[in-house]
Amino acid sequence: VGALAVEVWTTNKGITYDNFYLGASVDEAKAAAEPFYEKKAAEQAAAEAKAAAKAAKKAEKQKGMKGALKKAEVFATQTIDTAKDQPLAAAGTLLATLVSLSMLCGKKKKKSPKKSDDDDDDDDEEEEEEEDEDDKKSKKTPKAD
């Protein structure tokens, strides 16, 4: 056997392949690798450029988040400094904010069911009937003086 060629397919992160050449001649090895190497080198360079662009985009997003955090830190520092200078005003503002939030977000008390006008009418009728019955009973029994 003068030479042996092996092609290995790998399927990690997409389908790619590598070529192996086993032989005695360095010139033949270079000639066999030349068409594959250029193509593979170009693909690797494109993949690296794509990964670098993706990393730069991700870094830009994180930079924007860091900018927002920096602004929040500046605002918090100014607020704390103002609160140290004017503690009564800060306490009043905090109390008003907490009361407002509790009124907006707090649970509402359930109202006790009130009797409607219809219910009152029914009760009045029942009371009148009871009074009529009492009057009838009192008329039937003779009073002893």
pTM value is: 0.32
Whether 105 maps to a domain, the answer reads no
Q: Which residue has the tokens 């290995």?
A: 8
Tens digits of per-residue pLDDT, 91-120?
999 999 999 998 888 777 666 666 655 555
Whether 71 maps to a domain, the answer reads yes
| Mean pLDDT confidence for 70-89 | 90
C-beta separation of 90 from 81 below 8 A: no
Whether 127 maps to a domain, the answer reads no
Q: How many domains does the chain have?
A: 1
Q: The tokens of 123 are what?
A: 């009760």
Of 86, 64, 60, nearest to 72 by C-alpha is 64
Q: The tokens of 96 are what?
A: 């008003």
Which residue type does 66 have? K
Whether 113 maps to a domain, the answer reads no
What is the pLDDT, as a whole number, of residue 30? 84
Whether 140 maps to a domain, the answer reads no
> What is the Cα–Cα distance from 55 to 49, expressed in whole angstroms?
10
What is the pLDDT, as a whole number, of residue 38? 82
Q: Domain of residue 89: give its range.
A: 4-98
Whether 104 maps to a domain, the answer reads no
Whether 36 maps to a domain, the answer reads yes
